[in-house]
Every structure is written in structure tokens, then in C-alpha cells.
Structure 1
């Protein structure tokens, strides 16, 4: 018996990093069918192959594009008729120093991390199962200041607020909404930030466990929030960050 037996799940940004590790865990825990999205078709298709190709559907798309979301949910409705679990994982950010932040930087970051999450959740509701679980991928920067990342930090604070509000909005349907906030995790997205070795060492020094986390460590926490193990948990922000946000 798996913790997600019989469940239909969607993971946005599921082709690599945290999303891919979570997809592996969901399947291992018995999810009946899994939908994953990503912007790059070749990467999403490769992820399906790595996942074994069975009980997985890949959809290329941009979560900040409402037409792409409509196509996504039309496909889920047609193929499975419902959705039990949503992990709104797609997102990202780049450095921009205050004083040099451009309108494009602001729009790009908020479109993916805030607008994309809002409409990913809202458009899922017509096919979402009462009693289901929605998990939003946040970040420790919702409560920690990071130099040159103020726009990104603001988007993750918005995600935290979404979870609080939506947990109340959806309580009559018994849909639980939680935020999972990772620290620094060894993913392609983290590596693409281009931190120097000295910057990495400085970051690790602020983490109680004195290391960077692994994607599967986040995936295990997502499974907890997606499953009945967390049946009395809603509206929280669960930090999985080696203790960094707590000190």
C-alpha cells in the first residue's frame, strides 16, 4: 500500500530538480496517474522516459500563460476526469540589485511565481476533488532577506499569503492548502544562479545542518503534505531548509 494509491496528481515544473524528484516519489507511493509540465519539450519528454513512461503524461507549457493552463486542464479532464493532488512547483528567479531592477525583471518574476501559481490553482478547482491537497512551492526567502533578490523574495512572501487565504477559501470543500519552503537545494536551477564557491560556503555556514539539501529530501516532505499523513495540516509553511530559516 502506497501513501498516494489511487490518486491523480499534477506537478508543474516537474521535468527536473525538485519537481522531478517529487514525480519519482509520487509514483513510488502508488499515484494512479501523474501529469507533469515544463517549458522545454525535450526536457519534459526526457523526464517521462526517466520515469518509466507508464502512468505519466507530459505537457509542454508555461504556467504564466493562461491559454497553456486551459489546454493542460482540458487534457487532464479528458484523460482522468479529476485531480486529487496539485504541487504548484514551477517558478524561478534571478539576481537584480536594487537600483538596477527593470520592469521586465519584475514582470517576468511575478508572472511565473505569483500569477502562474494563482491561475494554476484557480483553473484546477473545477476538476479538483473535494478533500484533495494543494501544495505551493515557496522558499525560505519568504521570511529571510537575501541581497539582490528583493523581487524574488516578495513573490515567495505572496505565495505564503496565498496558502493562508486559500486554505480558508476552500475549507468547505475540505481541500487543504499548504506551502512547502525549501532552503538551498542542489538542483539545476540553484546551480544556474552562478554562485561562487565562496558564496556557497557562506550560505552553507548559515545552515544548521551545514550542507545544501537534496531534491529527494523535499520530495519526501511533499508526499507528506499530499497524503493523509497530514490530514490535520492546512495553511502552514513547512520549512525544509536544514534549519536556516529558524536561526
Structure 2
């Protein structure tokens, strides 16, 4: 079967958090469609790996820490200098830690909100003036942004805040025709499964558990996330303030087959 490739040859995009997993899949899909992309990451090893992998393609790789306001300010300058005006911003910022309610500390709480919420908000605020009228923003949240799980109490709150913030930004940017939506993934096959500090054994067990509770009985792929993100970015032209779940039915009240 021939793979369909969208034509984004006249587009410029920024992927904040684009050096691995879902973010990198979006970067590759954009590049395959002919777009020029600036992507960020903060892990030097990941940055160098991606720099080699994307060599020769119209990709600009910038080290930027979403918890640093100085880095966020500098990112705006990098985007302006390398791309000028952009058509699409993917705010794929965040991390989760499995931490039961009674073990949460002030430091771990602050770290979760600093990355997942504060970093996402101020990245969008800094780059919004560089988005062309009629462009779009997509935030990554999670199916954990509603419901409740003991070990993800703080992460769920941080991602729910991003979901609410996205609606406010959607309202703020309506006069410019800029659409703002969120993508809420379920269990997706990425190197870390979105959880910090897991061993290979922990990851395998987490994936197996995800496959068991997901109605479609499998994890999603990063390519499936990328397809959904680009749908919101370019094709969903009458959609703003919305949440698109890519979760195999787990958040939809669908009974899994026994």
C-alpha cells in the first residue's frame, strides 16, 4: 500500500520536545511532507543522535529547557532568526513520574508543574506572536488529564491544567484565526512510555498492563500520534479548543473484550 504523504512544502513549524518519541515522529512527518522544522530538546545525547539522523534535511535543532524562562525567551529569538514566521507550533513538553499521593514532595510537585504546565504555557506565549494568522497550536496532554490514578495524581493535575489553558489560549487567538487544540495520548510505544526513571523491566510491565486495559488490546504507535497531530494542525480547520484522544478507546468508556 502506498503511504500517503501530506504536502507541507510551504510550511514552517516548531516542535518543542522533538528529539524522541512522539515529538520526533511529528518532526519526521512534517519533514516528509516538505516542511521546514525547528525542534527542541534538552538531553545532549538525544540532540546529537537526532542531529546525525536528520543531517541534510531542513531541520534546525536547538537545545532548550522548558523549565528555564531564559531558554524560552532565547527560543523565540532562535525561531525568528531561523524560520521567521511559522505556521504550526507543537508544544510536546512534559514528563510523568509514578508517585503515589502520599509520597509527593513539594520538590516533585513543583518539578511536574514547572515542566508540564508552566513550560508549556510560556513556550506558547513566547512563540504565539511568530505564528502566522490562520496557523495553529497543538499541545500534548494525556488521557490522564481526566479521571484519577493514585500514582499519577500530580501529573494528571498538571496535564488537566494544560487542557484548560489551551482553551483560554484558543479564545485569545481567535481574532488572528489561530486554532489551538490538544492531543491526549493513551499508552504509546515510546522509549520511556512517558514515565521517567523506569527500567526496561518496568517499561515492559507497564506496556503489558496498558495493552490489557486498552479496549483495542494494543499500544499506539508514534506514527499514529503524528497523524492525529497533523490532522489538528492543518486539516481540522473548523476545530479549536478541542481535545482529540488517541488512546485505543481507553478513555471512551468502551468495554474491552474479555
2:137 counterpart SS class? strand
Correspondence for 1:23 among 5, 13, 27 = 27
1:246 counterpart SS class? coil
Q: CA deviation at 1:53?
A: 3.3
2:121 counterpart SS class? helix
Pair 1:205–1:173, CA change in 2 (3 A): same
CA distance in 1, matches of 2:189, 2:6: 27
Q: What pairs up with 1:140-155 in 2 under 5 angstroms?
A: 140-155=143-158
Q: What pairs up with 1:153-172 in 2 under 5 angstroms?
A: 153-172=156-175
Residue of structure 1 in register with 2:82 after alignment: 79
Residue of structure 1 in register with 2:44 after alignment: 41
CA distance in 1, matches of 2:81, 2:188: 35
Tell me whether 1:116 sits opposite 2:119 in the alignment.
Answer: yes
CA distance in 2, matches of 1:53, 1:150: 43
Q: CA deviation at 1:43?
A: 1.2
Q: Which blocks of at least 5 consecutive residues in structure 2 are unaligned?
A: 254-258
Residue of structure 2 in register with 1:244 after alignment: 250
Residue of structure 2 in register with 1:193 after alignment: 198
CA offsets 1:60-84 (integer angstroms, 9 cap, x no match): 1101211111111101111221121
Pair 1:90–1:199, CA change in 2 (3 A): closer
Residue of structure 2 in register with 1:207 after alignment: 214
TM (norm. structure 1) is: 0.94
CA RMSD of aligned residues (A): 1.6
2:79 counterpart SS class? helix
Contact 1:9 1:35 in 2 (8 A): yes
Q: CA deviation at 1:179?
A: 0.3
Tell me whether 1:92 sits opposite 2:98 in the alignment.
Answer: no
CA distance in 2, matches of 1:126, 1:237: 23
Pair 1:81–1:201, CA change in 2 (3 A): closer
Residue of structure 2 in register with 1:13 after alignment: 17
CA distance in 1, matches of 2:33, 2:205: 39
Q: CA deviation at 1:45?
A: 2.6
Q: CA deviation at 1:3?
A: 3.5
Runs of 4+ that moved beyond 6 A: none
Could you say which structure has the greater relative contact order, defined with CA pairs below 8 angstroms and 6 or more residues apart?
1
Pair 1:196–1:38, CA change in 2 (3 A): closer
Contact 2:187 2:207 in 1 (8 A): no
Residue of structure 1 in register with 2:256 after alignment: none
Contact 2:192 2:203 in 1 (8 A): no
Q: CA deviation at 1:198?
A: 5.1
CA distance in 2, matches of 1:25, 1:105: 34
Contact 1:82 1:127 in 2 (8 A): yes
Q: Which blocks of at least 5 consecutive residues in structure 1 are unaligned?
A: none
